[in-house]
Chains A and B, each alone.
Chain A
Amino acid sequence: MSTPNIFTPGRYHESVWQVLMLPFSIVRNLTLDTLRNARQMNTEPMALATGLDFPTVHRRTLFAIRCSLAATVMNIALIGDSSLADDLAALAPPSPPPSVLKAEADRIQAIAKASRSTVGVFGLDGQGGGSGVVISPDGYVLTNYHVSDPFGNRMRIGLSNGEMHEAVIVGIDPTGDLALLKMEGRNDFPAATIIDSDTVRVGQWCFASGNPFVLATNLQPTTTWGIVSGVHRYQYPSGTILEYTDCIQTDAAINPGNSGGPLYNWNGDLIGINGRGSFEKRGRVNVGVGYAISINQAMLFLGHLKSGRVVDHATLGFTVASDEKGRVIVSNILESSDAYRRGLRYGDEVLALDGRDVTSVNQLKNILGIFPSWTRLKLRFKNAEGTVDTYVRLGSLHTVAELDEIITGKPLDGPPTPDGKPPEKKKPDNKKPDDKKSDDKDTPNDSDAEESIGEQSKPNELVDSMKDLFEARRGFGNYYFNRREIDRITSAREIQSGSLAPSEARWPKELKWEWSGSVAGESTQFQFTSQANQLSLTLGSDTSVIDPVRGWANIIDTQGLSGPALAIELWQRWNSVGPRAMGECTYIGTAPVIGLETWQDLTQVTTGEVESFFYTSPETKKIVLIEIQSDSRQDRLEVYFDDYETTLIDGLKSPSGEALSKPIPKRIRSSYGLTTPMVIDFKRLNVSQETGTK
């Protein structure tokens, strides 16, 4: 190994600051190290000495380095041989053991790998600056909301190789302090390796990467090394709405400008997004306590962020308090909450949420805080009768109006200010262009910071390349990305280009559908016919006609038996005309479905009197669950389509006239809430393309 530059990130003296703060003893070793390197490289030592020109100088230390170097150089020059240098080198420690060098090499490699994914986030004019991290090769970047917020909806992203890219805001999570940005034009952006942050343990080495104090003008990230000081930390909201739940605490220096940047483990794998420190009387600089949002939380929110919405955190609909024995007891519960409908009452003991034991109030907040609203979680509680295992739907923590207030900054605000003061957007980590050079100075807001999220940025020729990628709408960070996600889940692009196989393509419009089957475990027949505006359901001996729009709310409210027919009708519409033709439709994000390990894409469609929620598989694009809701205070109808079979469909012909096979549900499970489902087995599906014919 050739002698590496002693200031390679990850080598012994990890950062300039640490070098400057080293005691003289180590400076001496450093000096000797430099001399040794000089000898090995046969280089003029003075050149090396003058190479130690730091941007900011600890005067005494540098003086010492320079004096000893200069004096040594003088001696070598004057005496004419290097025996003195040899003597000095003899004082220096022998080479470290190979294992140490190996560790150092590993560290250098991890930092080099991780640094490629670390980015700087700047305003359109290239000014200001926070940090961020590339999380996908197609250019998604995570940062803090409080970093992206002052820049509006467009910004620039500097990769560590010096490239500058345009970026547009996608989705924001003001409560969780996350923002998702998107760069375009490449499919090989240097994405970080993401690992399960629940595997992180106290004592593991880790490092923060980013642009503290906007030091790096060449976009090379600064690395600060440390250990994980605590995991599953809960940090109270302090003066703002923002709370950090289940976060990672580290003693790696987190300073202003590190915000939004990655926290990596020792191997250079992404474990968190740095965003907050415990700052009190010592000013806004590192005091050995920094917090990172766990990457698991960020990943749980990723689907929501990709929807382009202003995403929200969740509430359980009840509050808890710990009693004298340390048990977590329900202290208040909304009768309209899903938990109440599942049987939870005042005074019950909460045992576990999402499979994690609840040992304290903080722990419950920790578990809850990492999930977006719209999520349904496992809940275990204990009442007088015994232990109950069930699922509860999480509600939204804020109303749309409250979120609006948060993102416009009045009167609530987003950025974390652990000192409890109202946040000032001009703090060093999200500086405005005009105070770039005054790191420690707070200046009053300028109009830029007041810019509302929906406004277009100032005209700029570089921006025009992305102008089609932004669409303002209330409740959205960028509505454009919502449309893009709906295109993805409905394979709209593939349909447009005709690249889909006929079996995967949409069903023809204006079909007459005839489903026949029976209720499992009973001899009750189930026949559903749907044609244009005529819906007819025969259940056993009863036949009823269903209006295509009206009366649906009544069926859901009364938990009517014809509910499954509504879901089948929605399934048909989704698969023939598509969600956009069904009503107002919004892609929500990803959400769990009972019985499935991976989260599914969730789309909300307003269909007449009711709200419908479509859960579709990200891989196969098939509908796995349709929920219909009439009143948010009541249970939804849930119809699971979890048994598809590709079947030759009578009456359906491909354009070339051949009979077509398509995946259709063989069995559906239908229930209101978590009641015992009605299971319907389908025996046959007939379709006819000419309306009115049998």
Chain B
Amino acid sequence: MNSLTWFDFKRLSLVITFVLVDLSAKAFADTPENVGDPKLVRTSKEVGFGDPLVSLLAQVQPKMVKIYGAGGMRGLESYQSGFLISDEGHIATSWSTVLDSTKVRVILSDGLKTDAELVGIDPQTEIAVLKIQEPTKSYFELNATSLPSPGDRVFGLSNLFGIATGDESVSAQRGVVMAIAPLSAKRGRMKTLYQGRVLVLDVMTNNPGATGGAIIDLEGRLVGMLGKELRDDQSNMWLNYALPMDVVTGTVRRILEGKTNSATQTDKLVPSKRPHRATSLGFNLLPDVLAKTPPFVDQVTSKSIAQRSGLQPNDLILLLNEQRVDSRRAFEELLATIDRADSFSLLVQRGQELVRIDFRP
């Protein structure tokens, strides 16, 4: 104690204080510069003790859709949420097993039931774009720069638990953006393909059926798309998150421009005369027993092209040459269009990771 002077002690405790205060400030979220900023703190009138919030939520309802497809088994819902993004009937939603159906049905806010076609998907961000035939008046403008700050008030709109049917409004929830952080920070503990930046929310939005729902701000602008249900394996905590608009906008644009992985397009396939065959490349898929058997790799022959390329048993093939293959049959049909002399690439899901595999014969 003798070596510690009074001045040192003062300085040390100052340091401790700042470190602690600073830690508490930065540990989870960036603090908004000024909580008193009128953009961040709304008065009672603005936030809707009366009508503004009511009309805000009523105004975005026509942009929301309910999506029904495959599923219905225990733990696998057959419904999810989505929102309109163009006047031509484009719908942004989450890429999930619900869309693994020959027929995806969409119910608009006025109760109109219609079938949707899958325009494209992006396995990296788990976003899908659907299209319905009907033109749509109400839709969200996608704006890549609509990024809320931690502390911002937001509202979640989704058909969680499938509560709303027909023309009933989807559920609205209120929350605050707690943080903007990459999901990869939780890698290994959260089962998710998407690893990028997400809006972490303080409200329990990510329930069954909520995925693909919209997060809006106090002006009614779209600021995020609700992600899937995500549970931390170790703590059993459920994470409520949404994909930020730069990710949503970028992905949707790529899908619409056809630059990214398009949907299965079996009608345009021209079989090659000397096509590739899985067996000659050195791998087998799981037997084709269902209407849509997922293209899972069953076996990989040692020292084959497949093994050298890095393919492993239990890989789930998602894309072949950037084209979506949602079944073993689709994969085989698409593979049959590629000449034996040509290279091709696969995107496979291995556990929670996406792996790209290039085949060079």
> Which residues in A have some Cβ–Cβ distance to B below 8 Å?
21, 23-29, 31, 64, 67-68, 71-72, 74-75, 78-79, 84, 88, 93-97, 99-100, 102-103, 106, 201-205, 226-230, 232-233, 235, 249, 251, 266-267, 278, 280-282, 286-289, 326, 359-360, 362-363
Question: Do residues B238 and A282 form an inter-chain contact, with CB atoms below 8 A?
Answer: yes
Which parts of B139-165 form the interface with A (CB within 8 Å)?
Answer: 150-151, 155, 160-161, 163-165
Nearest neighbor of A362 in chain B, beta-carbon distance: B165
Contact B53 A21 (CB under 8 A): no
Judging by beta carbons under 8 Å apart, are A249 and B21 in contact?
Answer: no
Report the separation of the CA atoms of residues A203 and B169 in the bound assembly, to the nearest whole angstrom: 12
Are A249 and B13 in contact, CB atoms less than 8 angstroms apart?
Answer: no
Instruction: Give the chain B neighbours of A21 by CB distance below 8 A.
Output: 202
Within 8 A of A (CB), among B160-206: 160-161, 163-174, 178-179, 202-205
Whether A64 pairs with B20 at a CB distance below 8 angstroms is yes
Inter-chain CA distance A189–B306, complex, in Å, is 79
Check if A106 sits within 8 Å of B49, measured CB to CB.
Answer: yes
- Return chain A residues, CB-CB under 8 Å to B161: 278, 280, 289
Please, how many angstroms separate the alpha-carbon atoms of A346 and B170 in the complex? 32
In the assembled complex, the Cα of A67 lies from the Cα of B31 at a distance in Å of 19
Q: Which residue of B lies closest to A251 (CB)?
A: B173
From 266 to 305 in chain B, residues with beta carbon under 8 angstroms from any chain A beta carbon are none
Q: Which of B1-58 contact A (CB under 8 A)?
A: 9-10, 13-14, 16-17, 20-21, 23-31, 34-36, 38, 41-45, 47-49, 51, 53-58
Give Cα A229 to B38, complex, Å.
25
Q: A71-B16, A71-B17, A78-B13 are contacts. A24–B44 as well, Cβ < 8 Å?
A: no
B41: chain A residues within 8 A (beta carbon): 96-97, 100
Instruction: Evaluate contact between B75 and A202: CB separation under 8 angstroms.
Output: no
Q: Which of B44, B58, B160 has the most CB of A within 10 A?
A: B44
Which residues of B approach A to under 8 Å, CB–CB?
A: 9-10, 13-14, 16-17, 20-21, 23-31, 34-36, 38, 41-45, 47-49, 51, 53-58, 75, 111, 113, 150-151, 155, 160-161, 163-174, 178-179, 202-205, 207-208, 238
Taking chain A's interface residues, is the majority helix, strand, or loop, or is none over half, making it mixed? mixed
A24 with B167: CB separation less than 8 A: no
**13 A-B contacts (beta carbon < 8 Å):** A28-B24, A64-B27, A71-B17, A97-B36, A100-B43, A201-B51, A202-B57, A202-B169, A203-B57, A228-B172, A230-B168, A281-B75, A288-B160
Residues of A within 8 A of B49 (CB): 103, 106, 205, 266-267
Taking a contact as CB atoms closer than 8 A, the residue among A67, A100, A226, A280 that contacts B208 in the complex is A280
A94 near B36: Cβ-Cβ < 8 Å = yes
Q: How many Å lie between the Cα of A28 and that of B17 in the bound state?
A: 12
> Nearest chain A CB to B41's CB is how many angstroms away?
5
Determine if A362 and B171 form an interchain contact, defined as CB atoms under 8 angstroms apart: no
The chain A residue with its CB closest to the CB of B52 is A203
Q: Chain B's nearest CB lies how many Å from the CB of A543?
A: 61
Find chain B residues with CB under 8 A from A288 CB: 160, 173, 203-205, 207
B165 touches A360 (CB 8 A): yes
Alpha-carbon separation in the docked complex, A362 to B107 (Å):
16
Residue of B nearest to A77 (CB): B13
Which of B21, B34, B167, B168 has the most CB atoms of chain A within a 10 A radius of its CB? Answer: B21
> Across the interface, which residues of B come within 8 angstroms of A267, CB to CB?
49
Chain A residues within an 8 Å CB radius of B14: 75, 84
Residues of B within 8 A of A204 (CB): 48, 53-54
Contacts of B113 in A (CB 8 A): 326
Taking a contact as CB atoms under 8 Å apart, the answer to whether A24 and B54 are in contact is no
Residues of A with C-beta under 8 A to B10: 75, 78-79
Q: Which residues of A contact B25 (CB under 8 A)?
A: 24-25, 28
* A29-B35 in contact given A24-B27, A97-B43, A202-B58 (Cβ < 8 Å): yes
Cα distance A246–B56 in the bound complex, in angstroms: 23
B31 near A25: Cβ-Cβ < 8 Å: yes
Q: Are B202 and A93 in contact (CB under 8 A)?
A: no
Residues of B within 8 A of A88 (CB): 21
CB distance from B341 to the nearest CB of A (A): 51
Contact among B38, B179, B208 with A23 in the assembled complex (CB-CB below 8 Å): B179
